[in-house]
Homo-oligomer: A and B are copies of this chain.
Amino acid sequence: MNLDPIFQSAQEAFLHYKNISGKDKAAFLRKIAEGLEAEKHSLIPMASEESNLPEGRITGELGRTVGQIKLFANLVEEGSWVEAVIDHADPDRAPAPKPDIRRFLTALGPVVVFGASNFPLAFSTAGGDTISALAAGCPVIYKAHPAHPETSKLVGQVIHKAVIESTLPIGVFTHVEGGIEVGQALAKHPTAKAVAFTGSFAGGKALFDAASQRKEPIPVFAEMGSVNPVIALKEKLGNNMEALAKQFVASLTLGAGQFCTNPGLIMVPDIHAEEFAKAVKNELELITAAPMLHEGIAASYYNALAILQGRKELEWVQVAEAKDLIKAYPALAKIKASDWLEDEHFQQEVFGSFALMVVYEHFNELYAIAQRLHGQLTITLWGEEDELAKKVDLINQLEEKCGRLLFKGVPTGVEVGYAMQHGGPYPSTTDSRFTSVGAYAIKRFARPIAFQDMPHELLPNALREENPLGIWRMVDGEFKR
Interface residues of A (CB under 8 A from B): 15, 19, 80, 85-87, 96, 98-99, 101-103, 106, 108-109, 208-209, 212-213, 216-217, 219, 375, 385, 388-389, 392-393, 395-397, 399-400, 402-409, 413, 415, 417-421, 423, 425-427, 430-435, 440, 446-455, 457-458, 472, 474, 476-477, 479, 481
Check B389 against A101 for contact (C-beta < 8 Å): no
Contact residues in B for A476 (Cβ distance below 8 Å): 418
Complex: chain B residue closest to A85, CB-CB: B419
Beyond A217-B426, A219-B431, A418-B87, is A392–B458 a contact (Cβ under 8 Å)?
Answer: yes
Q: How long is the Cα–Cα vector from A455 to B403 in the complex, in angstroms?
A: 18
Check B479 against A407 for contact (C-beta < 8 Å): no
Contact residues in B for A216 (Cβ distance below 8 Å): 375, 425-427
Complex: chain B residue closest to A396, CB-CB: B15
User: What are 9 A-B pairs at a CB distance below 8 A?
Assistant: A19-B396, A87-B415, A101-B415, A106-B399, A392-B458, A399-B449, A409-B453, A419-B474, A434-B448
Interface centre among A409, A433, A458, A477 (most CB of B within 10 A): A433
Complex: chain B residue closest to A84, CB-CB: B419
Contact residues in B for A404 (Cβ distance below 8 Å): 101, 449-452
Complex: chain B residue closest to A427, CB-CB: B216
Check B433 against A447 for contact (C-beta < 8 Å): yes
Quote the shortest CB–CB distance from A20 to chain B (angstroms).
12
Contact residues in B for A430 (Cβ distance below 8 Å): 217
Contact residues in B for A400 (Cβ distance below 8 Å): 15, 109
Contact residues in B for A458 (Cβ distance below 8 Å): 388-389, 392, 395, 407
Q: How long is the Cα–Cα vector from A332 to B109 in the complex, in angstroms?
A: 35
Quote the shortest CB–CB distance from A207 to chain B (angstroms).
12
Quote the shortest CB–CB distance from A289 to chain B (angstroms).
24
Beyond A87-B418, A449-B404, is A413–B101 a contact (Cβ under 8 Å)?
Answer: no
Partner of A419, one of B19, B86, B418: B86
Check A450 against B419 for contact (C-beta < 8 Å): yes
Complex: chain B residue closest to A216, CB-CB: B426
Q: How long is the Cα–Cα vector from A427 to B214 in the complex, in angstroms?
A: 12
Check B454 against A407 for contact (C-beta < 8 Å): yes
Beyond A406-B452, A431-B219, A479-B479, is A389–B419 a contact (Cβ under 8 Å)?
Answer: no
Quote the shortest CB–CB distance from A61 to chain B (angstroms).
13
Partner of A405, one of B451, B477, B481: B451
Partner of A397, one of B15, B102, B479: B15
Quote the shortest CB–CB distance from A93 to chain B (angstroms).
10
Contact residues in B for A385 (Cβ distance below 8 Å): 455, 457
Contact residues in B for A87 (Cβ distance below 8 Å): 415, 417-420
Contact residues in B for A397 (Cβ distance below 8 Å): 15
